[in-house]
Amino acid sequence: MGGRPVWAEVNLQTLRENFYKLQTYTKSEIMPIVKADAYGHGAIPVVKTLIACGAQCFGVALLQEALEIKAAFPEVTVMVIGATERNESDTLVERDIIPTVFQLAQAQALSESAVRLNRTARLHIKIDTGMGRIGFRETDVAEILRIADLPNLFIEGIFTHFATADQRDLSFARKQLKCFKTVYEELKRAGLTIPIRHAANSAGIIQFPESHFELVRLGISLYGLTPSSQIDGNIGLEPVMAWKAKVSHVKTINTGETVSYGRTFQAAYPTVVATVPVGYADGMRRALSNQGEMLIHGRRSTIIGRICMDQTMLDVTKIPGVKVEDVVTILGKDGNDQLTATEMGDWMGTISYEVVCGISKRVPRVYIDPTEP
């Protein structure tokens, strides 16, 4: 475990199974989204595993992330689904990384780089159909057509992103889809046919098949987590990551004694306290003080007192026999119980995405691959 009694287990076989299962939901090509170090799972091992499953094109948020993947897997196609800067055009062209273009000036810079380097730059056009983040708007068709006239560019794709595909009510998502189709058709009528259209994220692949087009961008579902508690997550995906630690200390405190900073926990009865060497510097959010839970011996124990930077205390009074070095499950299965990032997110008013991305670099990732000898 690399010395530290806190670690995250990433099961690559589960990742494979999720990929194959998701592929049964769509005929479209899957572009795995591996931004933010594959949602905290580790981009390089995740990409390597998914290449072996047949994935050919990966999406990231930043040029830096794209460069890391290209350095390890030069043959793979990488797209930056977020913004890049104009002064990054040379790098994008040299490394054949696909940028998202949503401003004319950006396309001009890319075209100039491509001309100078005597290459053709691939790009995807982003349409803002209601997410309100980045993208050309419905009224910008003329500008997109000007991009099509710039030298040494190939507009390979056009895409949009849904604001509400994870909600039960899909009426706004349908409106966005309609807008996207209108822009695409207008461009086509003007003589610009773009081969790859994409719109669906994980929520879209599950409950919005009309949005699949040629390519789907899947992030959270590959990691076995549901995009929101509003959609039925029971499609057989399993969380890829588990988060564990070993108990560092066990003691019994008397009634009236307190635990941790600010003395926010006071024992109402003699309490058996287990200390776990994980804290907010590891991504164990302080907001879970006095309310989060962890599994130990297959049972739930409650966090007592404030979570510290490096340590957290549990009430294990009702769990007999807890001792130093026992394994604590922060996320994952133990016995018949399971803690998911979705549940942990619910405790602190956030989503599973933020939980897994928040597990800090200090927590070593341990890769488990049962198919490897």
Ligand X SMILES: *Cc1c(COP(=O)(O)O)cnc(C)c1O
**Where does this chain bind ligand X (CB under 6 A)?**
33, 35, 81, 161, 201-203, 217-221, 227
Q: How many CB atoms within 10 Å of residue 357? A: 18
Closest CB to ligand X among residues 223, 265 = 223
Q: Is 35 noted as a catalytic residue in this protein?
A: yes
Q: How far apart are CA 228 and CA 164, in angstroms?
A: 10
**Active-site option among 175, 188, 251, 261:** 261
CA torsion through residues 31, 35, 41, 46, sign: positive
Q: How far apart are CA 352 and CA 36, in angstroms?
A: 14
CB of 353 to ligand X, least distance (A): 6
Q: What secondary structure does DSSP assign to 71-125, as a single string?
A: HH-TTSEEEE-S---GGGHHHHHHTTPBPEE-SHHHHHHHHHHHHHHT--EEEEE
Q: Count of residues for the chain?
A: 373
Q: Which residue is nearest to ligand X (CB)?
A: 219
CA angle 248, 281, 309 (to 5 degrees): 60
The contacts of residue 199 (CB under 8 Å, 6+ apart) are 159, 160, 161, 162, 176, 177, 180, 211, 212, 213
Q: How far apart are CA 136 and CA 82, in angstroms?
A: 13
Closest CB to ligand X among residues 81, 114 = 81
CB of 159 to ligand X, least distance (A): 7
Closest CB to ligand X among residues 221, 260 = 221
Closest CB to ligand X among residues 177, 313 = 177
Q: How far apart are CA 218 and CA 231, in angstroms?
A: 16
Q: Which residues pair with 314 in a beta bridge?
A: 274, 303
Q: How far apart are CA 193 and CA 291, in angstroms?
A: 54
Closest CB to ligand X among residues 35, 365 = 35
Q: Is 261 noted as a catalytic residue in this protein?
A: yes
Closest CB to ligand X among residues 101, 203 = 203
Residue 133 labelled as part of a binding site:
yes
For residue 111, give both structure tokens. Answer: 């075209």
Residue 344 labelled as part of a binding site:
no
Q: How far apart are CA 68 and CA 190, in angstroms?
A: 38
Annotated binding site for substrate: 133, 309
Active site residues: 35, 261
